[in-house]
Homo-oligomer: A and B are copies of this chain.
Amino acid sequence: MTAPAPLSPILYEAIARRALEEDLGRGGDLTTDLVVPATARLVARLVARTNGRIAGLPVAATVFRMLDGAIAIDTVAGDGRDVAAGDVLATVEGPARPILTAERCALNFLGHLSGIASATRDVVAAVAGHPARIVCTRKTTPGLRALEKYAVRVGGGANHRFGLDDAVLIKDNHRALAGGIGPAVARARDGIGHLVKIEVEVDTLADLGEALDANVDAVLLDNMPLDTLAEAVALAKGRVITEASGTVTASSAAAIAATGVDLISVGWITHSAPAMDVALDVETP
């Protein structure tokens, strides 16, 4: 697949600055400032320590350059590339002090986002051959939604809602408070814009029937046993988009996908994906 379009820096410059500010505190990098000669220069390489898919290299580059515009980053394997342990992602060259000072901050972005992209890639691979797309949720890390949604795209997944305001997703509690699926959908349809779709969470086939009757755009088949899920997909096929959710692992994904469901939403790829191990190797000065 091709990598998605890079994210506009407008969407991450503020968090990049905050990340530097929280690491430099009120005194800056004591160690580097005291120990490293002011005139020292470095050539270093961003290197993968494990297999994974890269996401966040432009963010890391922004962190380095935000600290010091004299740092040059030359990308070797950019966002969307699958790399193996030892692969070089980029070279970083410039004054030694700011490179060392920015290192951890840049790696924290790169490791976190590549971890999400890699996890997504693996779940996507697990459903290869099936029509199902892997989608993320709103279970993201506070302050990082734009970046994490982007990392999911880099991993080959698709994005569910970016937030509460770009689609209607009627869950159990909404339905109960509205007096049923029908009334809930009717109220939503009455108020939304013409480019907003409606999805309804259903737990049973009876619910599904109500949702189909209500003419929704998509149904979220939540935590159904595989056979019920298959039945639900069969019922809904061709009428609405079907999404399965629940506990989805790389191993269980294939079976879920085999039901023919259109989408499988996976929370852990954003909230629990382990960071990818990426390091900065400095060439001996």
Give chain A's interface residues, CB within 8 Å of chain B: 4-5, 7-8, 10-11, 15-38, 40, 42, 66-68, 96-98, 100-101, 104-105, 107-109, 111-112, 115, 133, 135, 138-146, 149, 153, 158-178, 184, 187-188, 190-197, 199, 217-218, 241, 243, 262-263, 268, 271-275, 282, 284-285
In the complex, which of the residues B146, B169, B284 contacts A31, with contact meaning CB atoms closer than 8 Å?
A: B169
Task: Report how far A32 CA is from B213 CA in the complex, Å.
Answer: 21
Q: Known A67-B10, A146-B26; judge A100-B34 contact (CB<8 A).
A: no
CB distance from A240 to the nearest CB of B (A): 10
Contacting pair A26 B27 (CB below 8 A): no
Residue among A111, A175, A193 having the largest count of chain B Cβ atoms under 10 Å: A193
Can you list 18 A-B contacts (CB < 8 A)? A5-B32, A5-B38, A11-B21, A11-B26, A24-B165, A25-B25, A27-B149, A28-B165, A30-B166, A31-B169, A32-B174, A34-B188, A35-B175, A36-B174, A42-B177, A100-B173, A108-B140, A108-B142
Contacting pair A142 B143 (CB below 8 A): yes
Contacting pair B142 A29 (CB below 8 A): no
Contacting pair B282 A176 (CB below 8 A): yes
CB distance from A265 to the nearest CB of B (A): 10
Q: Please name all residues of chain B whose beta carbon is closer than 8 Å to the beta carbon of A138 when the two chains form the complex.
A: 23, 104, 108
Contacting pair A274 B272 (CB below 8 A): yes
**Which B residue's beta carbon lies closest to that of A105?**
B142
**Which B residue's beta carbon lies closest to that of A108?**
B142
Residue among A7, A35, A66, A272 having the largest count of chain B Cβ atoms under 10 Å: A35
Contacting pair B282 A162 (CB below 8 A): no
Q: Known A28-B8, A35-B188, A166-B162; judge A142-B195 contact (CB<8 A).
A: no
Q: Please name all residues of chain B whose beta carbon is closer than 8 Å to the beta carbon of A263 when the two chains form the complex.
A: 194
Residue among A23, A101, A187 having the largest count of chain B Cβ atoms under 10 Å: A23
In the complex, which of the residues B4, B32, B166 contacts A33, with contact meaning CB atoms closer than 8 Å?
A: B4
